[in-house]
Amino acid sequence: MHHHPETELMLKGYGLTTAEFLYHLPDHPHVLQSFVWQQYDLAPDFPALYRFIDFWTEKLDGPLHSVRYTHKQLISPSEWRNVSGELVLQ
């Protein structure tokens, strides 16, 4: 059985973070544009989200107006059990 990288991240405590970025268009500063971003990230520190915000502010021309985000841990410890045995009925 092959594990997907996403499953391994979820088992390590990562959850899915979705963020909506509102930013000013460089040529039309009074116009706001929306961009949606998703990544597996660790709450409450959100290192991937902050790396992306740093990338945006350093490399992209459209200055950020605001960022709204939500986070959902997809697998919690109460939903996961490691099965170490098997019962075969004949």
Assign 89 a pLDDT band (cuts: 50, 70, 90).
Answer: low
Return the exposure string of 32-53: e unless at least 16 CB atoms fall within 10 Å of the residue's CB, then b: eeeeebeebbbeeebebbeebb
pLDDT beyond 80 at 4: no
Average pLDDT, the chain: 86
53: containing domain: 5-76
Q: Is residue 43 part of a domain?
A: yes
Number of domains in the chain: 1
Q: Is residue 27 part of a domain?
A: yes
Structure tokens belonging to residue 51: 């790396």
Q: Is residue 85 part of a domain?
A: no
